[in-house]
Amino acid sequence: MNQQTLRQTLIAPDLLSRATATWRFLVYGMQPLGALAGGLLGAVSLRATLITGAAVMALATVSAAGLSRVREL
Task: Say what the pTM is.
Answer: 0.55
Question: Distance between CA atoms of 65 and 59, rounded to whole angstroms?
Answer: 10
Are 38 and 49 in contact by the 8 Å Cβ rule? The answer is yes
pLDDT of residue 62: 82
- Is 56 buried (19+), middle (13-18) or exposed (0-12) by CB count in 10 A? exposed
Question: Distance between CA atoms of 64 and 60, rounded to whole angstroms?
Answer: 6
37-64 tens-digit pLDDT:
889 988 989 998 899 889 999 998 888 7
Question: Distance between CA atoms of 26 and 48, rounded to whole angstroms?
Answer: 25
